[in-house]
Chains A and B, each alone.
Chain A
Amino acid sequence: MKLNIENKILIPFVLLFFISLSVLLLISFRNDYNFIINNSFRYMDNKLNEFEISFNENDLLNEEEMINDIKNVKLTNFIIVKDGDVIFNNTSFDINLNEVNAEKENGKIKHFIGENYLLSFMEYDFFSWTVLILEDKNELLSFFYESYKYNILASIIFLTFSLQITIFISANITKPIKKLVGFCEVISDGQYSEKIDLKRNDEIGQLGIAFNQMVGKLDTSINELVNMKNYNEDILKYIDKGIITFNSDKSIISKNPFAIQTIIETKNYLNNRNSFMDIVNKSIELTYKEKKSNDNLFEFTKKVDGDIKYYDFYTSIMWGENRNINGYICSFNNVTERKKLESRIQRLDRLATAGTLASGVAHEIRNPLTGMRTSIQVLKRRLKENLTGNNEIMFERLIKEIDRINKLISDLLNYSKRVDSKLQKVKVFQSVSDTLALLDGELKRKNIKTLIDCEDSEITFLIDPSQFNQILLNLIKNSVDAIEHENGEISVKMNYIDNLKNGAELIINDNGSGISNELIKKVFDPFFTTKSSGTGLGLSVVHELVYQNGGEINIQSIVGKGTTVSLYFKTGGISNE
């Protein structure tokens, strides 16, 4: 049994009081009892002595006269034994004489305690009498018990009273301690602002004061700690960087919200068959093996639509005291946008270089070409009579080829020459329909179905109309060119991308031959073409025009399945026209 402090004080006192009172009672019982017995014996002895004296005074009497004399004076509790027989008995008791006969001694008073009586007796010389004085023991004891009862009662009252006082005192001592314990429980529940008031000036009171100070300090420290923790948690929570921590066994301890979000987002993305978490674990493994930090860039591709994301992984060791490894940390951030920006800048650089080069070269080529064309026309006129059949056709072809070179050079000059965009709201559906009508002959010839899925025919783009037409023509033409089978299909879808209708999206999807992952990065590069007759400027121009008009373009493609081009432009507000 677990004793509380109150009982630890109480029980020893209870035992102490109980034992000492019991001992006291027993001792007093023994003393009182002996006192009463001895007192009776003394009284009886006196009686025997008095009898001897009176006997000696009456020495003339004979035995019979003596007994009569005793009867007359009415001596009580008196027994006379002679030769082993009772010759006189004025008590109500039958005496067992064996003990008396065995112990009696001439001239000496002897005592005997029987079951119901006390005996005091002496053997006299005269008449060989043994005289016995008897005292009723029960009567004696009942007086004794009656008076002794008050001892017991007093003891019980004293014991009860002492215990009551002890209970009060122990409750009084332990109450503040219990209060303190209760206070500790409150504190351990985290209510550090509580205070305790024990209202005492003794050591326990001081303990209470010390406790309050301690808790006050604890409260301050914990507040600081909590603030610090919240601050750190907030950083982890709001940072646009994924952070995953590992213990020294490389098991994950924590992931911040960005990390969790990233893991969900990259569910279907793979890097050489490795999932996002595989890469995380491999990075940690590498850091574990090399015992140093690592920084690597990984590319993840979505299998379904070929979308690509780039993540920069940084892994390092968390060192504890004494160079012990406490754990590992892996941080990563999404660098896809940055990568895209980089490649766009590179592309723009390339475009600029190509443009400058082209315009420079174009002028230098155009002048001799003009000379060449004029010379050929002069030659053709001079030799008119002599030109027959094939020769004339060859002259014509020469001129045509020179014209074609001229056209290319014009294109190049156009390409390098920036034409400013005059932005205005253009109805997308209308433009798409016009472009498809323009290409109708070719579409029919190749038996290509076209689908227009339009959320709202009033969707507008804020764009230069002629440049938009050029963009559409280039893109749809590319799709038509990409389809080489019978069941060709081009779908055009347009929709708002936000509830406020500030931006809209146009998606052109074909089920043509598609472009491989390696090549798709280069499609916007100038002079890159997969077509035998292409100049490699079409998509490059589209790209240039899209960005010039403040839009965005994305291209995703799967070989054999088709290509999807997404265009994004501002709507310029909802059209009321």
Chain B
Amino acid sequence: MIELEILINKGDNMPNSYIFLMFFFFYSIALLYFGKLGYKETNTIHDFFEGGGKLGLLVSIVTFSATWFSAASMQGLSGSIYTYGIVSVFYSIIPWFLGALFLIWLTPGLRASGAVTIPGYFKKRYNSKTLQITGGLIILLNFVLYIVIQIRGFGIVISQYLEIPYYLAVIIIYMFILYTTFGGLFSIARSDAFNFVIICLGIIIAAVLIVYKIGGISEIFHKASIIEGYAIQSGSYYTEKGSLTHPLVKGAMPVLSLISVFFAWGFGISTNPQYTVRIIAAKDDKTAINMIIKSIMLLTIIYSAVVLIGLGSRILIPSVGIIDSIDAILPVVSNSIFSLYINGFIMLAIMAAAISTANSQLIVASSSFIYDIFGVLSKKNYDDETLLRISRFVVFIVGSLSMVLSLTPPENLLVYGGYIWGVFSASFLIPLYGGMFYEKATKKSALYSMFSGLLVIFILILLNYKSHSMFDIHPAMPGVITSFVVFCISSKLEEADII
């Protein structure tokens, strides 16, 4: 037992990573436990993808919020606030919440349609297999790319905290995402509940400590308003004095850009299958709407804490050294501000945010493949057991694809995420809401609208893609507008033809 004594008594010699390893170990065991709970209840693919359509309010709120609160929210947003200031609130949080309000509007119609996916709704509404399959492909591809954000978010954190290579961290999250997703939505909902508690704990503790250190919330805003200089020493962005607390970064952010972002983040949320699946999985309409409203209330608290963390960190550590991207700011800063154990919690919160979002997205991607691509193309009828096996296999393939892609990750999670959400709004928004609220919408107008929106946003992204394009007009705006215009024109034309 001499070794143990050494381990305990000579703790000073031990690197910090040992403490984080301990945190990581307990988190792993807990996640295993919560993931396991779902396995028993999953008997059909309906259970697997939509939790049998019987999720209660509390579970719905927790899983909705945990899915919502991703690595982009955790590191992307806090890093963005650290660097650019509260403009990030207008760049992300406000569009997100506005988008969520659209979801409330959508809920009764979507649930009444009996569709389980958005492309499934297209099939029911427009009776078009092309729309359904294209929708399925968009979801699949988008989520393969979006899961990369979560894997990267997790990979950065774990590699920094545990001082291990990035690729090893990627393998670890890959393992957890696959595991929680294999249990289906029941497993995801359970592990989401656990993850959300971890997220809240980590963020609230960090925010409270930062506010305490600086001496009050108003003090944070006051001190932030006088900061100037480079946030990242190796970076090119210089913070003007007062711009941190200015909504438009003292003019650096054009209002039009900010509005254009709404087309990506806001409309992206309001068409995002990862939320519509929660709406469908809720046990009734009332639960679904309550879930959205209460989740927004809950998230408002959490995001307020994130804003405080971002600004407070900038005050405590006005500049960080050489880092790859702003997403690494949170771990770096918290390492220098907090004690070892608080850092452990923050590490878990970051991990939880990444895992809880990634598994939901993985299952949505798989459900799209099963329902909207495989289900439409396959002529054979499969029993539930076989479909479950196929679904798990798809989960495995999609997860592996994302994992491979994340080995060469994008630079800025928030901007990258905005592009992906933008693809959703450019392709899904008009056919979905148009179909729901415009009776005369036709199959052709939906198809043209989807493809034109997609085309525009793809071209613009390819022309425009760079990590610091935050202050440009978001490609989603021209995309959505094109999609809308094409929808209107083709509807009118077709109407005229019929007459």
Contact = CB atoms under 8 A, between A and B. Distances in A.
A161 B15 contact: no
A326 interface: no
A150 B15 CA distance: 12
Interface in A517-539: none
Interface of B: prevailing SS: helix
Contacts of A141: 10, 13
B439 interface: no
Contact of A171 (B10, B21, B39, B385): B39
Interface residues of B, number: 33
B13 A149 contact: no
B32 interface: yes
B379 interface: no
Contacts of B163: 146, 149
B13 A163 contact: no
Contacts of B6: 33
B387 to A, nearest CB: 12
Contacts of A157: 171-172, 175
Interface string A131-160: 000000010011001100110110011011
Interface of A: prevailing SS: helix
A106 interface: no
Interface residues of A, number: 27
Contacts, number: 64
Contacts of A178: 40
A33 B25 contact: no
Interface string B4-20: 10110010111101100
Contacts of B13: 138, 141-142, 145
Contacts of A160: 28, 32, 175-176
A199 B383 contact: yes
Contacts of B32: 160, 163-164, 167
Interface string B23-49: 011001000100110011000000000
B164 interface: yes
A6 B39 CA distance: 11
Given A30-B3, A164-B32, A149 B172 contact: no
B345 interface: no
A29 interface: yes
Nearest to B31: A160
A161 B175 contact: yes
A178 B39 CA distance: 12
Contacts of B385: 199
Given A33-B3, A160-B175, A168-B182, A152 B39 contact: no
B3 A149 contact: no
A423 interface: no
A171 B40 contact: yes
Nearest to A115: B10
A168 B14 CA distance: 36
Contact of A167 (B21, B36, B162, B176): B36
Contacts of A138: 12-13
B135 to A, nearest CB: 32
Most buried by A among B3, B4, B179: B3
Nearest to A200: B385
Contacts of A156: 21, 24-25, 28
Contacts of A164: 32, 175, 179
Contacts of A186: none
A199 B385 CA distance: 9
Given A171-B39, A178-B40, A149 B10 contact: no
A171 B40 CA distance: 7
Given A171-B40, A199-B383, A149 B18 contact: yes
Interface in A1-34: 6, 10, 26, 29-30, 33
B179 to A, nearest CB: 5
B91 to A, nearest CB: 37
A168 B35 CA distance: 11
Given A6-B40, A138-B13, A149-B162, 5 more contacts: A30-B2, A33-B3, A146-B163, A157-B171, A167-B35
Interface of B: 2-4, 6-7, 10, 12-15, 17-18, 21, 24-25, 28, 32, 35-36, 39-40, 162-164, 168, 171-172, 175-176, 179, 182, 383, 385
Sorted nearest first, the 7 A-B pairs with minimum C-beta distance are: A141-B13, A171-B39, A164-B179, A160-B28, A30-B3, A29-B3, A167-B36
23 contacts: A6-B40, A26-B3, A29-B3, A30-B2, A33-B3, A138-B12, A145-B13, A145-B15, A146-B163, A149-B15, A149-B162, A149-B163, A150-B164, A153-B162, A153-B168, A156-B24, A156-B25, A160-B175, A160-B176, A161-B175, A168-B182, A171-B36, A171-B39
